[in-house]
Chains A and B, each alone.
Chain A
Amino acid sequence: MRRVVVVGASAAGLATAAALRQQGFGGLITMIGDEPHLPYDRPPLSKQVLTGQWDAERLLLRPESDLKAMNLDLRLGVSATAVDRTARTVTLAHGGTVPYDALVIATGVRPRLLPGGHGRPGVHVLRTREDALALRDRLGDGRRLVIIGGGFLGTEVAAAARQRGADVTIVESGAEPLARIIGRAAGRFITGIHRDRGVRILTGLKAETFDTADGAVTGVRLDDGRTLPADDVLVATGSVPNTDWLRGSGLDIDDGLLCDAHGRCAPGIHAAGDVARWFNPLFGRAIRVEHRTSASEQGIAVARDLLTPATPQPAAPVPYFWTDQYEVKVQSHGYLPGHEESAVLDGDLAEGRALIGYRRGRHLTGVLAIGMPAKDVRPWRAAVARRTEWAAVTSAPTPAR
């Protein structure tokens, strides 16, 4: 293997490249990114960047000197449009091709859009640095922001926008923001924090169309007939894997690139990060996890598998995410979507401090910590990694150290 091509220059792509170099790979690494910027970090976009605490320069994933030392053939501001698996080349938007011995796909996701309205002044999505700066510059005292979608992104933006003095409404189609992932009790708790801070939360409603005047958005029309006046609207209704360029490649791109536990999609091709649907032995199925930490873990695992394919080490990582909701820190280890039961295992939501466990099948498959000391949460990660029986954690609910 002499030439590795990484498509995607964000967290997963950069982790792959960094780990390849750390593990001694001296060949050529070409990294192709469709954004014009050096690799930068996305979680702060909906947090410190929106509140104005950080400027965009702080987002760099690695200092420029580190990147130089990695000796990458960095192609920024250019997208890949196709892969030829027989010739082993990637086609670029301006027409050239790049040959590879090993291809790593880390093209991430893009926001899911609502029909009719995107591109108009005042209608936003939040994925890139430009998106965040554009929204940041519009927030301020009394500015009316309507957020469509009460997921992690929507709620984080609500918190940041309230800190900027904006008037914020969340429109959530489900019964409770975040409930689909973290369950109703935890969802209600976080919703309560937002209501206490003056965020208006409408549930069980969908946005139908945008009202506009002179091309700019003036409001959102909901499916109950009501109109919410708005200076700005953020569409935060989930994301779509960037796999369009792989159509016709024969790769399985149904909800992201299907990979085995080593990140392999096909001979000579791996995938990592938000775009990848890895088989995780811990949960017995392939899961696509849009978490910052998974991007790094998968990048490192892919590099290892590329350099030592004869001794594969299946990765069974415990997914991790965190979210900041005002001063409350929320952390999770494990995989929560599709859980069949949840229970408070430590603390008490009424006191704003709780550890909630999630069951799927017979096992503890995830935990969510709200306002818990970080150190007290770590043992629970181990409990998830060990596939602890649900009955064992609910009968003796002190941390399984």
Chain B
Amino acid sequence: MKVHIDEHKCVASGQCVLVAPDVFDQRDEDGVAVLLDDSPTPDKAGQIQEAVVICPGAAIRLDRA
């Protein structure tokens, strides 16, 4: 399982951090989302999928390879 963030689409809302705080954080300088863990364990899948849907910039993608 691999998580991707499109930095150019991120609007720095921090919504992903609210639903998956172990996976996402925000950069100090501009609030753009960063990954704490780009290959999280499968138990995080639910949270990450919620982040994918909730992201107001449609900037998060989850690959389930």
Interface residues of A (CB under 8 A from B): 15, 18-19, 22, 41, 43, 58, 60-63, 292-293, 296-297, 299-300, 320, 322, 329, 331, 373-375, 377-378, 381
Given contact pairs A61-B58, A322-B56, A22 touches B12 in the complex (Cβ within 8 A):
no
Question: In B13-36, which residues have CB < 8 Å from any A CB?
Answer: 13-15, 17-18, 26, 28-31
Query: Which A residues are in CB contact (< 8 Å) with B28?
Result: 373, 375
Q: A296 near B49 (CB under 8 angstroms)? A: no
Whether, in the assembled complex, B54 has its beta carbon less than 8 Å from a beta carbon of chain A, the answer is yes
Given contact pairs A22-B46, A374-B26, A322 touches B58 in the complex (Cβ within 8 A):
no
Given contact pairs A320-B15, A322-B13, A375 touches B31 in the complex (Cβ within 8 A):
yes
Q: B53 near A377 (CB under 8 angstroms)? A: no
Whether, in the assembled complex, B5 has its beta carbon less than 8 Å from a beta carbon of chain A, the answer is no
Q: A374 near B31 (CB under 8 angstroms)? A: yes
Q: Closest approach, in angstroms, between the C-beta of B10 and any C-beta of chain A?
A: 10
Q: Closest approach, in angstroms, between the C-beta of A135 and any C-beta of chain B?
A: 21
User: Could you say which of B12, B14, B53 contacts A300, with CB atoms under 8 Å apart?
Assistant: B53
Residue of B nearest to A47 (CB): B11
Whether, in the assembled complex, B37 has its beta carbon less than 8 Å from a beta carbon of chain A, the answer is no
Whether, in the assembled complex, B38 has its beta carbon less than 8 Å from a beta carbon of chain A, the answer is no
Query: Which A residues are in CB contact (< 8 Å) with B11?
Result: 43, 322
Q: A374 near B30 (CB under 8 angstroms)? A: yes
Query: Which A residues are in CB contact (< 8 Å) with B56?
Result: 43, 292-293, 296, 320, 322
Query: Which B residues are in CB contact (< 8 Å) with A293?
Result: 13, 15, 54, 56
Q: Please measure, in the bound complex, the distance between the C-alpha atom of A157 and the C-alpha atom of B49, giving whole angstroms.
A: 32
Q: Please measure, in the bound complex, the distance between the C-alpha atom of A15 and the C-alpha atom of B53, giving whole angstroms.
A: 6
Whether, in the assembled complex, B7 has its beta carbon less than 8 Å from a beta carbon of chain A, the answer is no
Residue of B nearest to A39 (CB): B58
Interface membership of chain B positions 47-65, coded 1 if the CB is closer than 8 angstroms to chain A and 0 otherwise? 0011011111110010000
Residue of A62, A320, A374, A381 with highest tally of chain B CB at under 10 A: A374
Q: Please measure, in the bound complex, the distance between the C-alpha atom of A232 and the C-alpha atom of B18, giving whole angstroms.
A: 42
Q: Closest approach, in angstroms, between the C-beta of B63 and any C-beta of chain A?
A: 10
Beyond contacts A15-B53, A15-B54: 17 other A-B pairs, Cβ-Cβ < 8 A, are A19-B53, A22-B46, A41-B58, A58-B9, A293-B13, A293-B15, A293-B54, A299-B53, A320-B13, A322-B11, A329-B12, A329-B31, A373-B29, A374-B13, A375-B14, A378-B14, A378-B17
Query: Which B residues are in CB contact (< 8 Å) with A299?
Result: 53
Query: Which B residues are in CB contact (< 8 Å) with A41?
Result: 57-58
Please name the 7 residue pairs, one residue from A and one from B, whose CB atoms are nearest each other, closest first. Answer: A374-B31, A292-B56, A374-B12, A293-B56, A296-B54, A22-B49, A15-B53
Q: Closest approach, in angstroms, between the C-beta of B61 and any C-beta of chain A?
A: 8
Query: Which A residues are in CB contact (< 8 Å) with B52?
Result: 18
Q: A377 near B14 (CB under 8 angstroms)? A: yes
Query: Which B residues are in CB contact (< 8 Å) with A19?
Result: 50, 53
Q: Closest approach, in angstroms, between the C-beta of B60 and any C-beta of chain A?
A: 11
Contact sample, A vs B, 21 pairs, CB 8 Å cutoff: A15-B54, A18-B49, A19-B53, A22-B49, A22-B53, A43-B57, A60-B58, A62-B58, A293-B15, A296-B55, A300-B54, A320-B13, A320-B15, A320-B56, A331-B13, A374-B13, A374-B31, A375-B28, A378-B14, A378-B26, A381-B18
Query: Which A residues are in CB contact (< 8 Å) with B13?
Result: 293, 320, 322, 331, 374
Q: Closest approach, in angstroms, between the C-beta of B32 and any C-beta of chain A?
A: 8
Residue of A nearest to B25 (CB): A375
Query: Which A residues are in CB contact (< 8 Å) with B55?
Result: 296
Residue of B nearest to A318 (CB): B18
Residue of A nearest to B15 (CB): A293
Q: Please measure, in the bound complex, the distance between the C-alpha atom of A373 and the C-alpha atom of B18, giving whole angstroms.
A: 16
Q: B31 near A373 (CB under 8 angstroms)? A: yes
Query: Which A residues are in CB contact (< 8 Å) with B26?
Result: 374-375, 378
Query: Which B residues are in CB contact (< 8 Å) with A378?
Result: 14, 17-18, 26
